[in-house]
């Protein structure tokens, strides 16, 4: 299977992982024609996440693939360092989906005796990936169905999620918006771990609609819709953890101007 198909089928997923895999794939396509052809296919594979689009822009400006790969790594380390400061001792963190940026922050805070509640993240259940990764890192984790966030919210100290794009709203995995609204109703802060690579200045933007059979098998007469992401108004977000430090939503809006 090609990298493009792996990204489409979500064998490779997560905005940063997609960017890394794409850069490695493009390394094999040095010629301008072949490079442009592959770049177009990669961008079309998951159209909502912006990181890859921004990275392509950097490549066009003459940046080098190896440097960009290195930069993604150091950026994640910096986000982890800034983000762990928001996590108090014995904190219970609720997270959604599987975000490498979020997990870097959580792992950095491990010694504070934290616990994590991970949502399953239907329909693709990326919460399982998060749970497995946390167990490996020696962090206690409880996996819950998405509809249980209200049940567990009273126990939670903070909600921490990733981002696919930072626009006039936060674009992240479907289910982020109801999670953030629930957290606000219970007075719990919601933080986003996302590098400035996620700043999205694209004019054209669309939420990816994924295959209906990811939700369930056909039911005669029933229309099934499967949007991959939703849009959370910034008023529900306390701050964004970037490689440059902790930024308020209004700072993010300023960066987008």
Interface ranges with ligand RI2 (CB under 6 A): 13-17, 97, 99-102, 126, 161-164, 172-173, 228
The answer to whether residue 67 is catalytic is: no
- The residue whose two tokens read 């996996």 is 143
Catalytic residue among 6, 57, 97, 155: 97
Task: Kindly tell me which of 165 and 221 has the beta carbon lying closer to ligand RI2.
Answer: 165
Minimum CB distance to ligand RI2, residue 51 (Å): 6
Does residue 224 contact residue 214 with C-beta atoms inside 8 Å? no
Q: How far is the CB of 32 from ligand RI2 (least distance, A)?
A: 28
How far apart are the C-alpha atoms of 233 and 177, rounded to whole Å?
A: 8
- Residue 38 near residue 152 (C-beta atoms within 8 A): no
Check residue 209 and report its DSSP letter.
B
Least separation in angstroms between residue 121's CB and ligand RI2 is: 8
Q: Tell me if residue 97 is catalytic.
A: yes
Residue closer to ligand RI2 (CB basis): 101 or 232: 101
Bond from prior residue into 178 cis (ω within 30 degrees of 0): no
Q: Which of 6, 57, 164, 216 is catalytic?
A: 164
Under DSSP, is residue 145 helix (H, G, I), strand (E, B) or coil? coil
Q: How far is the CB of 250 from ligand RI2 (least distance, A)?
A: 22
Q: CB–CB of 21/51 below 8 Å?
A: no
- 3-class secondary-structure state, position 119: strand
Q: Which residue is nearest to ligand RI2 (CB)?
A: 162
Cβ distance to ligand RI2 smaller for residue 73 or 113: 73
Residue number, 39 or 166, with CB nearest to ligand RI2: 166
Residue closer to ligand RI2 (CB basis): 19 or 114: 19
Neighbours of 221 (CB within 10 A): 5
CB 95, min distance to ligand RI2, A: 9
Strands (E), the chain: 92-95, 115-119, 141-144, 158-161, 165-166, 169-173, 190-193, 229-233, 239-242, 245-247
For residue 34, give the H/E element and its range. helix 32-45
β-bridge partners, 117: 94, 142
Positions annotated as catalytic residues are 97, 164
């Amino acid at each position: 299977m090609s990298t493009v198909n792996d990204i489409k089928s979500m064998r490779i997923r997560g905005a940063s992982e997609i960017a890394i895999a794409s850069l490695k794939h493009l390394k094999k396509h040095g010629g301008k024609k072949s490079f442009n052809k592959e770049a177009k296919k990669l961008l079309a594979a998951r159209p909502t996440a912006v990181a890859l689009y921004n990275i392509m822009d950097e490549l066009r400006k003459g940046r080098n693939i190896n440097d960009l790969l290195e930069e993604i790594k150091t950026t994640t380390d910096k986000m982890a360092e800034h983000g762990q400061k928001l996590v108090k001792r014995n904190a219970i963190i609720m997270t959604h989906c599987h975000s490498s940026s979020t997990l870097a922050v959580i792992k950095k805070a491990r010694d504070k005796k934290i616990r994590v509640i991970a949502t399953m993240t239907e329909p693709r259940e990326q919460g399982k990936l998060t749970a497995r990764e946390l167990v490996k890192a020696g962090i206690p984790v409880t996996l819950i169905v998405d509809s249980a966030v209200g049940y567990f919210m009273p126990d939670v100290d903070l909600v921490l999620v990733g981002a696919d794009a930072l626009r006039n709203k936060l674009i992240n995995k479907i289910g982020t918006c109801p999670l953030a609204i629930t957290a606000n109703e219970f007075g719990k802060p919601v933080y986003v771990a996302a590098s400035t690579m996620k700043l999205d200045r694209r004019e054209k933007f669309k939420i990816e609609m994924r295959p209906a059979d990811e939700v369930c098998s056909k039911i005669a007469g029933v229309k099934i819709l499967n949007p991959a992401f939703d849009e959370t108004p910034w008023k529900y977000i306390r701050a964004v953890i970037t490689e440059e430090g902790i930024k308020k939503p209004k700072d993010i809006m300023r960066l987008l101007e």
